[in-house]
Amino acid sequence: MKALASSATPAGAWRCEIKFDGYRALAVLDGGEVALWSRNRKRFDADYPEIVAALRRLRCRDAILDGEIVALDEQGRSRFQLLQGRDLGDRPPLRYYLFDLPRLDGEDLTALPIEERQARLAKLLTKAAPPLLLSPVFDTEPAALLAAVREQGLEGIIAKRPGSTYESGRRSGAWLKCKVQAEQEFVIGGFTPPQGSRSRFGAILVGYHERGRLLYAGKVGTGFDQRALGELHARFMGLRGAGCPFANLPMETRSRFGRGMPASEMRRVTWLRPELVAQVRFSEWTQDGLLRQPVYLGLRADKPAHEVRRE
C-alpha cells in the first residue's frame, strides 16, 4: 500500500506515524524461509542479513510484514545518506521499523481495519528486539505531530485513516504523507562536465515522468563527495545514450532563480539512458517547473525509473 503526498495536514482524528527516510520493504516469512522485497520487487536479503536473522526468530508459521529499513544517525534519526554509506562499507545502526501486517499464519488480514492489523503486529513483535522495532502510532492531531517532527529535524509524518483496510499497490488517500522538507525521487538523464576543482562531472540533470514523457526538472550540482562522484561516474559510463531523453528540452526560460537548459548548454551534456533514480532534497518548485536549491542525497535501489512522478 502506498501513501499519497499531501501539501496540507488533514484535520480530525488520524493515526499518525513518523515518516522514515529509508527503504520501504516487505518481509515474507514462510516456515524457516525469509525474503525481503523492495517496492520494485528486488530482493534485499543479502544486503541486510541481520534483519533476516531477526525475522527468522519471530514465532509464526508464515507472515507478510510491511515496514521501512533505515540507518540511524547519532541522534537516532533515520537518514537516507547513511544507508548509502552502509552500501559502501560504513556501518551505522540499522533498524527495520514495522507498521503493518497484511498476512499472518495463513490468514489474509488486508480487509481488517488498520487498528486490528497493528494490534496483531504488536503482539507478534512482543519479544522482538533491534533491529526489529514497532513503528509507534501517535494519538494526536497531524498538524501537532508535524510541528514536533519539524523541531526534531525529521522528514515528515504518515497519517492513516482509522478503520482503513490494506489496499495493496494502491495510493487511495487512506494513507497520506506530509513532509517537512521537499524531497523525492528523480530520474537521472545526463550530466555536465566538471569545472574548477570538481572531478568526474559537474551536475546531474534530473526529471520525472508525466503522461508517458520524461520532463526535465533541473540540474543538481551539490551533495556529492569524492566517493559519490567516482561511484556515479562509473555507473554513468555504462549508460551513455545517443540523445536527450527529456521531452521538454531545450528550455530557454530565465528567472531570478536561474535559467532552464538552452540548446547552447545542451551541447555540453553527456546524455544517459534514464534508468538510475536519485533522491533529491530541494527548497521548492519554481514557476517554470524547476527545482530550487536541489541537493543530491543518494541513489535509490528500491524504485524503478518509470514509476517516478512529480509529487
Distance between CA 254 and CA 273 in Å, rounded?
27
Contact 178, 4 (CB under 8 A): no
Residue from 19, 160, 179, 219 carrying the catalytic annotation: 19
- CATH superfamily placement of domain 21-134: DNA ligase/mRNA capping enzyme (3.30.470.30)
Which is nearest to 114 in space by CA: 101, 98, 105, 95? Answer: 101
- 10-residue mean pLDDT profile of the chain (311 residues): values are 91 94 95 92 91 96 97 88 68 92 98 98 95 94 93 92 96 93 93 91 97 96 93 96 95 70 94 97 87 93 92 88
> Percentage of the chain with pLDDT > 90?
74
pLDDT of residue 196: 85
pLDDT at site 283: 82
User: In angstroms, rounded to a whole number, what is the distance separating the alpha carbons of residues 147 and 124?
Assistant: 31
1-19+138-180 domain in CATH 3.30.1490.70?
Answer: yes
Q: State the pTM of this model.
A: 0.77
Please determine whether the domains at 21-134 and 182-307 fall in the same fold group of CATH. Answer: no
pLDDT of residue 85: 65
Q: Which CATH number fits domain 182-307: 2.40.50.100, 2.40.30.10, 2.40.50.140, 3.30.1330.60?
A: 2.40.50.140
Domain ranges of the chain: 1-19+138-180, 21-134, 182-307
Distance, CA of 174 to CA of 1 (rounded, Å): 10
Instruction: Output the pLDDT for position 79.
Output: 86
Return d(Cα 55, Cα 38) in angstroms, integer.
Answer: 16
The yes-or-no answer on residue 42 being catalytic is no
- Please state, in angstroms and as integers, the Cα–Cα distance from residue 125 to each residue in 56, 102, 114, 149, 214, following that order: 12, 15, 16, 25, 43
Positive or negative: CA dihedral 118, 166, 112, 144: positive
Q: Is the dihedral of CA 243, 247, 252, 258 positive or negative?
A: negative
pLDDT in tens, 35-62: 999 988 899 899 999 999 999 999 999 9
Of all helices (H) and strands (E), which one includes residue 175? strand 175-179
Q: Are 218 and 249 in contact (CB under 8 A)?
A: no
pLDDT score recorded for residue 258: 59
Other beta carbons within 10 Å of 309: 12
At 74 the pLDDT is 87
